[in-house]
Amino acid sequence: MNESKILFNEKCSVCNFEIKHYKKRSDLNFVNCSEMGDKYLKKLHVRFENGTEISGVDAFVYVWERTKGYAWIAKIIKLPVIYSLSKIGYAVIAFILFYKYKLLSK
């Protein structure tokens, strides 16, 4: 089985709250990326053994498909129109959370 790492910013209160919930409902390997640089602070990332990564909405779909009780959300998000809107919404929310985190961490 391909071992993946879900990279999330543990220092972001919103991110950490959500990931704590997923940790209770899955066997996924969540890794704090708060010291890994801005690339990883801006979005949720999944890094695979072979070095490839997915991020943002795709990373959440990956997590939801593997978290008890959340597969239905992944199915809805993967619908073409909803997927496109989700990517836009995620970009806006991630931008706001990233800059809020950067301002508060100074």
| pTM higher than 0.85 | yes
DSSP 6: E
C-beta of residue 11 within 8 angstroms of C-beta of residue 38: no
- Phi and psi (nearest 5°) for 85? -65, -35
How do the domains of the chain map onto residue ranges?
4-104
- Contacts of residue 17, defined as CB under 8 A and 6 or more positions apart, other chains included, come to none
Angle at 54 between CA 18 and CA 85, to 5 degrees: 70
pLDDT in tens, 33-91: 888 877 777 889 999 999 999 999 999 999 999 999 999 999 999 999 999 999 999 99
C-beta of residue 51 within 8 angstroms of C-beta of residue 7: no
Could you tell me the pLDDT band of residue 2, with boundaries at 50, 70 and 90?
A: low
